Amino acid sequence: MASSDDIVVFCRLQLSEAEAEHLIGWIAWRTGRNQAMAGDRETIERLRHVVVNWLDADQRARLLRWMTTRIDQGRPPVPS
């Protein structure tokens, strides 16, 4: 299982700030939430809030596995 810290560390190492913002929006869309609910902090802290509060343990594990696979395949971490 992937923890929220695992995802945040992965994103710090692999994603640009713009990609992290895009990921927040994508998760908001996938979970039916308003992106503004992530708050107005720095991007990485907004992402931490999203993965801690909007995703369960199984969703976090699937998200990290999915992003890792996409990056390994040379694809963007989040679809456009």
Give buried/exposed letters for 35-73 (b at 16+ CB in 10 A, else e): eeebeeeebbebbbbbbeebbeeeebbebbeebeeeeee
What CA–CA distance (Å, rounded) separates 5 from 11? Answer: 10
H helix or E strand, kind and range, residue 29: helix 17-31
For residue range 6-37, list pLDDT tens digits in order. Answer: 999 999 999 999 999 999 999 999 999 999 99
Average pLDDT, the chain: 93
- Using DSSP's 3-state secondary structure scheme, residue 17 falls into helix
Predicted local confidence at residue 1, as pLDDT: 74
Does pLDDT of 73 surpass 90?
yes
Predicted local confidence at residue 2, as pLDDT: 80
